[in-house]
């Protein structure tokens, strides 16, 4: 697949100008310092082979991409019915940190686990006697899926998020007040902030996506990391909810299950074919990497990766 290498190189080249159209996340000071001109991409096939281009070596914090793994763990640790009594799987037409629906809709349940409220609630439902155990369970899954045991939490970003995480505190306390979560909010958010602050590079995210492409099997060992059913649910929910209120457009433009993070990363899955990751810290107004989106749109077109 030399072609793929050429294609990725070309995509980075042709889409770099989009970096100037977006903005780095302003509300987390540490993230706003990122270089908006970065653009990288990695693709990992179902045999674990990997292709990279652009700034693929640049580490970044995975932010909301961690929500995918929290969701995987929570699906493994709960029956689907028990889970949906707490968090539903409905797309939201509001922003990623919206609180309105917790008051007005869906019996106070978060609409889905890909937005902040739902992800926070999801962590609380992961197996673990303590919140530290819950963190370790999800963080381990991240490292296993990324096939990289060296991943670490970026302390500066973590502290920055913790300092400025008042909107997430509002979400968590609201859910606590309605019985949606029943653990200590500060500790729960500490886990949430640490998971958002896990630092990885494009190849790590591409490998994580490849596990989803393989329906939960390791591309390297063939071992089942989680159930097929879990993988399918996760990809379905990524498709309808993964890009926040931009999910509908992403399905049209790119046509793959995807999940973005405000650190500039997007994970995309081509079922049974590829796991893909892009990095581009300049975001559009909905919090998705602008140049990354464009690059995925082109890649999907060239390789016919649309699932529809």
Return the number of the residue (204 or 215) whose C-beta is nearest a second copy.
Answer: 215
Return the number of the residue (59 or 271) whose C-beta is nearest a second copy.
Answer: 271
Residue 55 Cβ vs a second copy, minimum distance, rounded to whole Å: 29
Strands 265-270 and 274-279: antiparallel
Rounded Cα gap, residues 212 and 231, in angstroms: 6
> Which residues bind to a second copy, rule: CB under 8 A?
88-94, 98-106, 111-112, 166-167, 169-171, 173-174, 176-177, 185, 231-233, 235-237, 239-241, 245-249, 251-252, 255, 257, 271, 306-308
Residue 150 Cβ vs a second copy, minimum distance, rounded to whole Å: 30
User: Which of 86, 244, 294, 300 is an active site residue?
Assistant: 244
Would residue 98 show up in a list of annotated catalytic residues for this protein? no
In terms of Cα–Cα distance, which of 303, 60, 72, 73 is closest to 205?
60
Residue 4 Cβ vs a second copy, minimum distance, rounded to whole Å: 22
User: Which of 134, 192, 234, 259 is an active site residue?
Assistant: 192
Residue by residue, DSSP assigns 232-283 as: HHHHHHHHHHTTGGGHHHHHHHT-S-EEE-TTSEEEEEETTTEEEEEE---B
In terms of Cα–Cα distance, which of 241, 234, 236, 229 is closest to 112?
241
Residue 173 Cβ vs a second copy, minimum distance, rounded to whole Å: 4
Return the number of the residue (9 or 94) whose C-beta is nearest a second copy.
Answer: 94
Residue 196 Cβ vs a second copy, minimum distance, rounded to whole Å: 16
Would residue 140 show up in a list of annotated catalytic residues for this protein? no
Phi/psi of residue 136, nearest 5 degrees: -60, -40
Would residue 86 show up in a list of annotated catalytic residues for this protein? no
Return the number of the residue (53 or 256) whose C-beta is nearest a second copy.
Answer: 256
Rounded Cα gap, residues 299 and 75, in angstroms: 30
Beta strands in the chain (DSSP E): 40-45, 50-54, 60-61, 152-153, 198-200, 258-260, 265-270, 274-279
Return the number of the residue (5 or 177) whose C-beta is nearest a second copy.
Answer: 177
User: Which of 64, 92, 117, 270 is an active site residue?
Assistant: 64
In terms of Cα–Cα distance, which of 101, 128, 127, 124 is closest to 112?
101
Residues serving a catalytic function are 64, 67, 192, 244, 262
């Amino acid at each position: 697949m030399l072609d793929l290498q050429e294609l990725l190189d070309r995509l980075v080249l042709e889409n770099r100008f989009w970096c100037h159209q977006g903005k780095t996340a302003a509300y987390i000071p540490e993230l706003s310092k990122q270089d908006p001109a970065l653009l990288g991409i990695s693709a990992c096939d179902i045999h674990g082979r990997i292709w990279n281009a652009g700034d693929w070596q640049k580490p970044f914090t995975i932010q909301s991409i961690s929500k995918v793994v929290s969701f995987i763990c929570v699906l493994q640790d709960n029956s689907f019915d028990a889970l949906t009594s707490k968090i539903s799987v409905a797309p939201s037409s509001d922003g990623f940190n919206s609180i309105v629906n917790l008051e007005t809709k869906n019996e106070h349940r978060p609409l889905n686990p890909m937005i902040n409220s739902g992800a926070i609630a999801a962590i609380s439902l992961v197996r673990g006697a303590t919140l530290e155990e819950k963190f370790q369970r999800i963080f381990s899954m991240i490292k296993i899926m990324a096939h990289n045991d060296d991943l670490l939490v970026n302390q500066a970003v973590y502290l920055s998020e913790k300092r400025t995480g008042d909107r997430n505190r509002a979400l968590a306390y609201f859910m606590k007040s309605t019985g949606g979560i029943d653990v200590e909010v500060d500790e729960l958010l500490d886990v949430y902030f640490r998971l958002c602050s896990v630092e990885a590079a494009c190849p790590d995210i591409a490998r994580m996506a490849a596990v989803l492409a393989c329906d939960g099997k390791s591309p390297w060992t063939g071992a089942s990391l989680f159930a097929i059913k879990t993988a399918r649910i996760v990809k379905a929910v990524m498709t309808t909810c993964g890009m926040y209120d931009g999910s509908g457009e992403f399905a049209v433009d790119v046509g793959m299950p995807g999940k973005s993070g405000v650190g500039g990363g997007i994970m995309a899955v081509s079922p049974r074919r590829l796991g893909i990751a892009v990095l581009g810290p300049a975001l559009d107004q909905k919090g998705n990497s602008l140049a990354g989106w464009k690059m995925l749109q082109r890649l999907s077109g060239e390789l016919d990766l649309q699932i529809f």
